[in-house]
Amino acid sequence: MSVCAIHAEMIGHPHFHYRDDVLHGEVVPLDKLAAELGTPLYVYSRAALGAALGRYQQAIGDRPVLVCYGMKANSNLAVLGEFARLGAGFDIVSGGELARVLAAGGDPSKVVFSGVGKQAWEMRAAIEADVKCFNVESQDELYRLSDVAQGMGRRARVSLRVNPDVDAQTHPYISTGLKENKFGIAIEDAPEAYRVAAGLPGLEVVGVDCHIGSQLTDISPYLDALEKLIDLVDTLKAAGIAIEHLDLGGGLGIRYTDEVPPSPKALLDQVFERLAARGYGHLHLVLEPGRSLVGNAGVLLTTVQFLKHAQARNFAIVDAAMNDLLRPSLYTAWHGLRAVRPRSGEARTYDVVGPICESGDWLAKGRELCVQQGDVLALESAGAYGMTMASNYNSRPRPAEVIVDGGKYYVVRQRESIADVMRGESTLP
């Protein structure tokens, strides 16, 4: 056993900090939230959301760039409404996400619709809403979209998502720009696909789209992809197909442990330098950041239920589980772990696990903790791909969600009940 420090500062989370040896979200003590609202509990910082978007907006300055929040990272209506209020657009991947954007007051003219499997009803809804652009991912999709638009007496604005075969050097499950990935149209096939798109009566070609992956901590894959996209724009220009915007997707990483991801300014400065050098400084850019806007804006609170000191290892069994935060089980992802009220004394090495009936149900492994039954822990960097990937596995209700705002807090999603979980089901007669 080792001596447990009272606390350490939270990495990459300036809006979650210790005050009087209690972890706070902005000015709200998190033990108060756990006591009043129960756990598991997602807690987001309104100031952190604004600061993250502000870093992009400051980096953009007066350059022609639209930030479309990649809302699959966190689609809570309050989060969407805050980004809409601050001027962001949205990157959506389903008809349900479009409905959320509209319900939150988002501007459909700032919406790009991505995704490999758009259905006809989703296309109709997006055309009716008059979204900025469809990011089309196959020739079959081009034909379907043109037919749907024609049937409505409309033309759909499109860009083609091009797969540049660039290695994003990230986890294979979140790498999307290689030949073996399901996304996009191979760059060598793109000129023909654009020729087809330009000839379809229900479509209007407006852009080129690319997204190579998520949690990128190096700019070089972006720039490698950009060079290939500019070559494609040259080819299209020679064929008489004009491009209005270039969509570079999202993917900038956040700090989970010791990563040092590039800043939005570092990325944009180099992108515009390359564009200007190739004669395309006039092109409008679209960015689709998700994780970098919300990842470090949230924590997941969980309460220790039991401590189990087995022969092979020690377990801290908590009330959160893989159905609440899937990333550790799915990606073997690391989330920092902090005690809301740290203890001093001797530490033990624990695996932090949930109550789900799976050996894969774990949230953190091999952590040095001074912990007792009833202690509340905070899993860091839980603002992205936490609640949006949550499920009702083992018939477990999903957590509540809260946004702290200075010294106030707002429940922005009520905790599900068992009745909620069973709603819509029925037994046989």
pTM of the predicted model as reported, rounded to 2 decimal places: 0.94
Give the pLDDT confidence of 149-168 residue by residue, as tens digits. Answer: 999 999 999 999 998 877 65
210 belongs to the catalytic site: no
Q: Which structural domains are found in the chain, ordered by start?
A: 2-45+295-422 (2.40.37.10), 115-287 (3.20.20.10)
Among 68, 133, 210, 357, which one carries the catalytic annotation? 357
| Per-residue confidence band for 121, with pLDDT thresholds at 50, 70 and 90 | very high
For the chain, the three-class secondary structure string (H helix, E strand, C coil) is CEEECCCCCCCCCCCEEEECCEEEECCEEHHHHHHHHCCCEEEEEHHHHHHHHHHHHHHHCCCCEEEEEEHHHCCCHHHHHHHHHCCCEEEECCHHHHHHHHHCCCCHHHEEECCCCCCHHHHHHHHHHCCCEEEECCHHHHHHHHHHHHHCCCCEEEEEEEECCCCCCCCHHHECCCCCCCCCEECCCHHHHHHHHHHCCCEEEEEEECCCECCECCCHHHHHHHHHHHHHHHHHHHCCCCCCEEECCCCECCCCCCCCCCCHHHHHHHHHHHHHHCCCCCCEEEECCCHHHHHHHEEEEEEEEEEEECCCCEEEEECCCCCCCCHHHHHCCCCCEEECCCCCEEEEEEEEECCCCCCCCEEEEEEEECCCCCCEEEECCCCCCCHHHCCCHHHCCCCEEEEEECCEEEEEECCCCHHHHHCCCCCCC
Give the pLDDT confidence of 331-368 residue by residue, as tens digits. Answer: 999 999 999 999 998 899 999 999 999 999 999 999 99
Query: What proportion of the chain, given as a percentage, has pLDDT over 70?
Result: 93
